[in-house]
Amino acid sequence: GAGVSQSPSNKVTEKGKDVELRCDPISGHTALYWYRQSLGQGLEFLIYFQGNSAPDKSGLPSDRFSAERTGGSVSTLTIQRTQQEDSAVYLCASSPDSKNEKLFFGSGTQLSVL
Amino acid sequence: QKEVEQDPGPLSVPEGAIVSLNCTYSNSAFQYFMWYRQYSRKGPELLMYTYSSGNKEDGRFTAQVDKSSKYISLFIRDSQPSDSATYLCAMTNTGGFKTIFGAGTRLFVKA
């Protein structure tokens, strides 16, 4: 595809359930980022991948959050035992290299935890 | 104190007005300064990108960076209803992998 693809676009889940969010970056982009956007808030950095490696996981809000990237392409963000405060838009972005001045974002996954 | 401060607005202007959007920041290591535009239910898209201090113009848009004051601006000339969106400033440092975003300013341009 031409752009960053995220799925699902919307996810409603019950408190305590696990969810998986998927990101397909632009083909050939080596860097991949996950951000979280809460209502009225800026983008909160979660994690960055260069290839399949994540040099810094300190942005993940808690140990309920994990992410992986396989084959230098698709990435999955997993949230275990979801809480209401996890409700937000989860945005994925990719960049052609590790110079992150130009990020290409997907449309995001709107997560609602009831 | 946040690393990047941005007035969330909303800012409402008539069509044809000049719009000024601003951010301040605290980290003097920031070297790259960006403006992203975000339409409702969409991801942000890169609008302007500037390295270090100075001005950059692209059509109706002008980005300014004043590193001595730690202040960046985006000017929109002859604003159009299609410019109605949220504008996020963003910045990063050389060799850094984390782009820091402002909270975004919501802009409404009335026809």
A28-53 residue pLDDT tens: 899 999 999 998 778 999 999 988 89
Contact B11, B105 (CB under 8 A): yes
Question: What pLDDT score was predicted for residue B1?
Answer: 74
Nearest to B86 by CA among B43, B54, B27: B43
Nearest chain A CA: its distance from B99 CA (Å): 7
| Residue A100: band (very low, low, confident or very high) from pLDDT cuts 50, 70, 90 | low
Which residue of B101, B105, B106 is the best one to mutate when testing the A interface, meaning the one whose CB has the most A CBs within 10 A? B101
> Helix or strand or coil: residue B39?
coil
Q: Is the pLDDT reported for residue A62 higher than 90?
A: yes
Question: What pLDDT score was predicted for residue A58?
Answer: 83
Q: Is B41 on the interface with A (CB under 8 A)?
A: yes
B93-103 residue pLDDT tens: 877 778 999 99
Question: What pLDDT score was predicted for residue B46?
Answer: 94
Nearest to B71 by CA among B18, B13, B30, B103: B30
Task: Please indicate whether residue A109 or residue A39 has the higher confidence score (pLDDT).
Answer: A109
Contact B75, B20 (CB under 8 A): yes
Interval A17-26 mean pLDDT: 97
B27-85 residue pLDDT tens: 998 999 999 999 999 999 999 999 888 899 999 999 999 999 999 999 999 999 999 99
Question: What pLDDT score was predicted for residue B59?
Answer: 96
Q: Is the pLDDT reported for residue A67 higher than 70?
A: yes
Which residue of B24, B99, B100 is the best one to mutate when testing the A interface, meaning the one whose CB has the most A CBs within 10 A? B99
Q: Is the pLDDT reported for residue A2 higher than 90?
A: no
As beta bridge partners, residue B36 has: B46, B88
Q: Inter-chain contact B96–A100, Cβ cutoff 8 Å?
A: yes
Q: Is the pLDDT reported for residue A1 higher than 90?
A: no
Interval A57-80 mean pLDDT: 93
Q: Inter-chain contact B97–A41, Cβ cutoff 8 Å?
A: no
Q: Is the pLDDT reported for residue B24 higher than 80?
A: yes
Which chain B residue is nearest to residue A38, measuring alpha carbons?
Answer: B103
Question: What pLDDT score was predicted for residue B90?
Answer: 95
Can you tell me the distance from the alpha carbon of B86 to that of A41, in angstroms, rounded to the nearest whole number? 11
Q: Is A34 on the interface with B (CB under 8 A)?
A: no
Q: Is B96 on the interface with A (CB under 8 A)?
A: yes
Q: What is the DSSP letter of A64?
A: T
Which residue of A43, A44, A98 is the best one to mutate when testing the B interface, meaning the one whose CB has the most B CBs within 10 A? A43
